[in-house]
Structure 1
Amino acid sequence: MLLGWPALNPPPEAPLLDAIRARDFLQVDTRNTPTTYYQGRQGPTGFEFELVRRFAERLGVSLSLDSDGNIDDVLDAVRSGKADLGAAALPLDPTLPGIHFSRAIMTLQPLVVYRRGLPPVAEPGKLLGRSIGVIKGSGAGLVLRELQQDSLPGLSWKESADIEVADLLSLVENGELDVAVIYAHQFKLNRLFFPGVENGFLLGDPLSLAWALPADRGLGLLQRVNRFLDEMQADGTLAALSARYFGQDDYLEYVGARTFIQQANARLDTYKDEFLAAARKTGFDWKLLAALGYQESHWKPEATSPTGVRGLMMLTQSTAEQVGVTNRLDPAQSIDGGARYLKSVKQRLPEEIEEPDRTWMALAAYNVGLGHLYDAQKIAEMRGGDPYAWADVREALPLLQKRKWYSQVRYGYARGGEPVIYVRNIRRYYEILNYIERSQQQFFQLNQREPGADDGGLFDVVPPVL
């Protein structure tokens, strides 16, 4: 169920809002997770980061972020006044002392997941006797407590404030836990990276994601937050951000993800230095170039298509000559030439196209040609869309296969569905490579634990109530 938020009875006091304006910055505590805030290719990003950045702009102040803590740390910072606002995938819980919550931002549907190979965990009774893990304070414990009190008094689980969703799924996959309770959107973002974890069943009613504010500093900031969130919902911004961060299709199946990760481990190091060198020359993220190379040839330097396109980056003869590649089968030349060609394509796009759409359109043009991309932009405009937005051009590209549309543009017919799939795949390969890199950086300490090692210092056990 969606929980409510405190009624705002005028006139609200605004000491905190006044203090924020006086110091000229908003202090926000968050968490470093894919669903909240992280450093992306273009800088800071994340669903809640995008919202708090817009809120700070609305207040006319700068934004200061602290992302070093866990959920308990965020709530403590808000209560103590160290943070003006907590935006950290927090479940709305009006029983928490010292905290006022904003209106609901999005729903959080608890989901049970389990290790592949176990008997299906498809209903609550199957949780008994299983080793279950949750993130402390995430709201999953609230749902399990309700289940325990209502119908399963023998239910027990483990909670930890010192792990995130990827840690939890890793513990399930490697056998240290049988089951985890997370949220459906979190599993959607992470499932490709954990092919050994199965989707179980939705558990209980949805909760609500909300922002936390101090309860003892007046209602002025809370009133502004709720007004801002109402406006974000009314103008479609909330829906657009939700679709951008949580609405991606699962277009790579588990087997495809597992194969890609295996090949990344087996082959990518052979060419990593070449991708890094090309990235330094062109300004692209090396992992994006690597994802492009995998889509083109699966990192096979001698790959050749029936049409004569060759090499790791699958360059045509004319493209190779254009970028000065004398041997398309030489991986270093191919990677360097492919990266420089992608840069030249990107530079020729209309300046109105902003990132990240500019990169996605450059990749589409790498595949289908700039002329056909320009035609797709024209079709997008003819259909009332934005020719500078990838979402609208992506919808227009497959229409290049239909005479009704290709007859109205300059370059005519093209297999326009292919660049859509092409860009889609590269983006997902790129996400996986980013995940691999982040996992190596962020989860080092967790991964030092031997499988089966004592987890007494990691989890608190919630006992049954028999």
Structure 2
Amino acid sequence: MPKAVVTHLRRHPRGYLLTCVGVALMWLALPQPPPHNAQWDAIQARAFLAVQTRNTPTTYYEGRHGPTGFEYDLARRFAEHLGLSLSMDSEPNVEQVLEAVRQGNADIGAAALPLDLSRSGLIYSRPILNLQPLVVYRRGLPPVRDIDDLRGLSIASIRGSGTGQVLRELQQEFPELSWKESNELEIADLLQRIENGSLDAAVVYQHQFKTNRLFFPEVELGFPLGEPLSMAWAFPAGQGAALQQRAQDFLHALQRDGTLDELIGHYFGHDDYLEYVGARIFISHVREKLPEYADLFRQAARDSGFDWKLLAALGYQESHWDPEATSPTGVRGLMMLTNPTAEELGVSDRLDPAQSIDGGARYLRQMKERLPDSINGDDRLWMAMAAYNVGLGHLYDARDIAEQRGGDPNRWADVREALPLLQNSEWYSQTRHGYARGGEPVIYVRNIRRYYEILDYVDRSQQQFHQLNERLPDDDDDSHLFDVVPPVL
């Protein structure tokens, strides 16, 4: 069965969007033999599935290892299931995606689309993801805990995302409710405007806020708004139901075997281990400290083959980019090298930022190269970082424990579960290298990954680091981006 490939993409790189949640489950009947029709015959003849999407970090974007995103992953799996290649094309907003599907220019619309049966010319799949609309607001304003607290605030939403539908329903009960809508902005744009003061609040979805909150630490959670909606795929009406039926069966199977929940957890299930305070401190350091060392991280990345942002994230976890940092155990410098490690690497001055960053990158490369060939991909990178923190010997001990417990010693997820057991005498007494504070490398790797995500997000969005906390001038006018929905008094 051929793997799905992307054959076309028009980039529209604005921020975050994914919508959905809560219509009653539909089409839950057991899978039926799929029908045939002209549309399905045409898809088979061309041998690829044409999917219309949006180029956003929560739907479809270019990641470190190629195309990624929740909608992309689902579409890729569906294409593989059908024995087809995958062609994904992007539009800048929901309305254009739906129009492309309605006109038959795409087989499927997969762009965080709200299930809306009132739209003509479209039919939908079963619900894929159920999530709750939320009001979020700028930190420092009086607390926003219910609809009464929205009075006098400048509120915005994304047109076509489904949040406007929730607001309109609430407006029937609260006729004084007013807000602004835009089909030119994304979730990250709204959150940025809340931070810089040009908006007071916005209505987004729960998973969108959960994914974005660390990038915008001045945006505060308000309250759930209205009833949940549902996200679904859209198909052109009037062309038969063969493809829709196959999608129904495919999505039902993913839900039944737990794969769908795993994908949702992978893309939207981050824990809040890095709280607002930590994120704000990190972003301030990105603005104030990182520019001084960014070129050194880039040079070390070129020499070692790592992403410079990953090295920068590791350096922040080690020392908060303090070149004179010193631990009680004598570990020193921006990358916190021990004296024996520095001597081995030829680092004569651990407090010299250039030597420290270069030495730290080469040491991480050593850890990665010394791991068994059976460890691949990101698993190899995360284990190398854990070894940087706890030592290669203790990492090998954790791999042995993972295997004893029935896990895979080549998977970081299993080794991560085993590392804290090195603090338990029942386990470390059986190991070669004995006791270790095994919980620390788990937190260490977890934090570096999150710091890296923040840096990668900023870099990918081509934003200057300081813009994350900077306030726009009072005379900046972006009113042309919004249409006002007035009160109905």
Aligned amino acid, residue 2 of structure 1: V
2:17 pairs with 1:17 = no
2:108 pairs with 1:115 = no
Q: When the two structures are superposed, what TM-score results if normalisation uses the length of structure 2?
A: 0.90
2:106 pairs with 1:83 = yes
For residues 9-44 of structure 1, the C-alpha deviation after alignment (integer angstroms, 9 at most, x for no partner) is 877343333222221222222222221112222222
Counterpart of 1:2 in structure 2 is 23
Q: Any idea what SS the aligned residue of 2:239 has? A: coil
Distance 2:121 2:47 in 1: 25
CA root-mean-square deviation: 2.4
Aligned amino acid, residue 453 of structure 1: D
Matches for 1:35-434 after TM superposition, within 5 Å: 35-149=58-172, 151-434=173-456
Q: Any idea what SS the aligned residue of 1:112 has? A: strand
For residues 81-120 of structure 1, the C-alpha deviation after alignment (integer angstroms, 9 at most, x for no partner) is 2221111111111111111111111112100111122222
Query: Is the 2:198–2:472 Cα contact (8 Å) retained in structure 1?
Result: no
Q: When the two structures are superposed, what TM-score results if normalisation uses the length of structure 1?
A: 0.94
How far does residue 3 in structure 1 lie from its aligned partner after superposition? 3.7
Distance 2:467 2:309 in 1: 24
Structure 2 vs 1, CA of residues 6 and 236 (structure 1 numbering), >3 Å: closer, same or farther?
A: closer
Structure 2 vs 1, CA of residues 7 and 407 (structure 1 numbering), >3 Å: closer, same or farther?
A: closer
Counterpart of 2:478 in structure 1 is 455
Question: Kindly, what percent of the aligned residue pairs are identical?
Answer: 67
How far does residue 417 in structure 1 lie from its aligned partner after superposition? 0.6
Query: Is the 1:55–1:228 Cα contact (8 Å) retained in structure 2?
Result: yes
Bigger mean CA offset, 242-251 vs 326-335:
326-335
Distance 2:71 2:292 in 1: 38
Structure 2 vs 1, CA of residues 351 and 210 (structure 1 numbering), >3 Å: closer, same or farther?
A: farther
Query: Is the 2:287–2:465 Cα contact (8 Å) retained in structure 1?
Result: no
How far does residue 68 in structure 1 lie from its aligned partner after superposition? 4.1
Aligned amino acid, residue 37 of structure 1: Y
Structure 2 vs 1, CA of residues 133 and 313 (structure 1 numbering), >3 Å: closer, same or farther?
A: same
How far does residue 121 in structure 1 lie from its aligned partner after superposition? 1.4
Distance 2:366 2:204 in 1: 43
Query: Is the 1:233–1:239 Cα contact (8 Å) retained in structure 2?
Result: yes
Bigger mean CA offset, 53-62 vs 361-370:
53-62
How far does residue 234 in structure 1 lie from its aligned partner after superposition? 2.1
Query: Is the 2:34–2:245 Cα contact (8 Å) retained in structure 1?
Result: no
Distance 1:146 1:307 in 2: 61
Q: Any idea what SS the aligned residue of 1:306 has? A: coil
Distance 2:398 2:80 in 1: 34
How far does residue 250 in structure 1 lie from its aligned partner after superposition? 1.2
Number of aligned residue pairs: give it: 465
Aligned amino acid, residue 154 of structure 2: S
Q: Any idea what SS the aligned residue of 1:292 has? A: helix
Distance 2:384 2:110 in 1: 34
Q: Any idea what SS the aligned residue of 2:377 has? A: coil
Counterpart of 1:465 in structure 2 is 488
How far does residue 451 in structure 1 lie from its aligned partner after superposition? 4.3
Aligned amino acid, residue 148 of structure 1: Q
How far does residue 435 in structure 1 lie from its aligned partner after superposition? 2.2
Distance 2:164 2:464 in 1: 24
For residues 157-178 of structure 1, the C-alpha deviation after alignment (integer angstroms, 9 at most, x for no partner) is 1110111111001111222222
Distance 1:423 1:134 in 2: 35
> Quick one: which of 440, 444, 451 aligns to 2:462?
440
